[in-house]
Structure 1
Amino acid sequence: MTHIRAFAIRDTESVIDLWQETGLTRSWNNPHLDIQRKLSVQPELFLVAEDGSDIVGSVMAGYDGHRGWIYYLASSPQRRGEGIARDLLAHVEELLLEMGCPKVQLMVRPGNEDVLSLYDKLGYERFSTTTTGKRLIAD
C-alpha cells in the first residue's frame, strides 16, 4: 500500500533513480540541483509515494500566484495502473488549492505522449501553445 508524504533528503537517490527509470531526466539538467532548488522554494510541494521503504512515485509543483505547475510526476513502471500518479496529482492539487491556486498546468515532452490519456481522464485540457525558455544559470 502506498503512502504519500513530503520529500525528505534521504529520498534523493531513490527519487533520481525513479526519474531516470521513467525518462524524466535530461543531460542538461542536474537532478541533484533541481532537488536542491526545490527544497529552497515551496518544499511542501515536493511529494513522494512510498510503499514500505520503496519510493514508487514523485511529484514536484510550484505556484507563482497565477497558476500552478506540475513537474517530475513519475510512478514506477512496475507499478503502473495502480493509481500512484493519480493519487500524487490529487494530493498536490489539493495543496495548491489550499494556497489559493486557481489553475494548474503541466508540460509533456515529445516522446512521452503515452501519459496524455491519463491527464485526459483527470480533466486536464490539451493546449496548442509554444513554450520558450532561457537558461539563466548553467548547471
Structure 2
Amino acid sequence: MGTEGERLAPVLAAAPAADGEFEEITDADVEQVVALWRECGLTRPWNDPYADVADARAGGTSTVLVARSEGRVVATAMAGHDGHRGWLYYVAVAPDLQGTGLGRSAVVAAEAWLVARGARKVQLMVRTTNTDVLGFYARLGYTDQECTVLGRWVDQS
C-alpha cells in the first residue's frame, strides 16, 4: 500500500491547473485581498492580514494566489511549503460567487503551486467554529488528520 506520502503524491500531481485564472498577488491587489478576507470572516484581531500578505510574499516558499474578475479580486488562497508539507491559508471566495466552483479552483491552483515546489501532502486548518466549510473540503478529498494543533505566541520585543 505504501506510505502516506506515496499515496497522496500522485493525487496532488494529477490535480488539474486552474487554467490561468489564478496568479500571484500584486501590490495593487493587497487592499482588495484584505477586504475579501474580512468580508469572508477570515481575519482575527491578533493576526494583521497586511503582515500575513507581506510575509507570504517575502520568501520563495509561500505566496498568495488571486483570481480577478472585471478588475475585482474575487478569490484567494495563501500557500506555503514548510519543507515537509504544503499548507493552505486564507482560501476565500467573494460571497456573491460562492458555490460557483471558484473555491475548488483556488484550492487546485494552490495545490499545483505547492506540488511544483515539492509538496507531497497539503494540509490546512479549519477553525472549530467554521463548520460550514468542512463539507467543501471533504468533497475535495481533505480529511481530519486526527491531530491537535498547539501554538503559542513568541514575544517579539
Q: TM (normalized to structure 1)?
A: 0.92
Shift of 1:15: 0.5
Corresponding residue of 1:16: 34
In structure 2, list runs of 5 or more residues that go unmatched: 1-19
Deviations along 1:63-96, one digit per CA (max 9) or x if unpaired, are 1111011000000111111111100111111111
Q: Please tell me whether the aligned partners of residues 6 and 44 of structure 1 are also in contact (alpha carbons under 8 angstroms).
A: no
Corresponding residue of 1:82: 100
Question: What letter is aligned with 2:121?
Answer: K
Partners of 2:26 and 2:139 lie apart in 1 by 30
Distance 1:134-1:85 versus aligned 2 partners, 3 A rule: same
Calculate the aligned-residue CA RMSD, in Å.
Answer: 1.6
Partners of 1:90 and 1:100 lie apart in 2 by 15
Q: Please tell me whether the aligned partners of residues 3 and 51 of structure 1 are also in contact (alpha carbons under 8 angstroms).
A: no
Distance 1:43-1:96 versus aligned 2 partners, 3 A rule: closer
Partners of 2:133 and 2:155 lie apart in 1 by 30
Deviations along 1:6-63, one digit per CA (max 9) or x if unpaired, are 1001111100110001110000011111111111123763100111201111000111
Identity of aligned residues (%): 39
Shift of 1:128: 2.4
Q: Please tell me whether the aligned partners of residues 61 and 81 of structure 2 are also in contact (alpha carbons under 8 angstroms).
A: no
Question: What letter is aligned with 1:70?
Answer: L
* 1:117 aligned to which of 110, 116, 135: 135
Q: Please tell me whether the aligned partners of residues 63 and 69 of structure 1 are also in contact (alpha carbons under 8 angstroms).
A: yes
Matched, 1:61 2:86: no
Q: TM (normalized to structure 2)?
A: 0.82
Q: Could you tell which deviates more after superposition, 81-90 or 34-43? A: 34-43
- Runs of 4+ in structure 1 over 4 Å off: none
How many residue pairs get aligned? The number is 137
Name the larger-Rg structure: 2
Question: What letter is aligned with 1:39?
Answer: R
Q: Please tell me whether the aligned partners of residues 85 and 123 of structure 2 are also in contact (alpha carbons under 8 angstroms).
A: yes
Q: Could you tell which deviates more after superposition, 15-24 or 45-54? A: 45-54
Partners of 2:46 and 2:106 lie apart in 1 by 26
Q: Please tell me whether the aligned partners of residues 59 and 88 of structure 1 are also in contact (alpha carbons under 8 angstroms).
A: yes
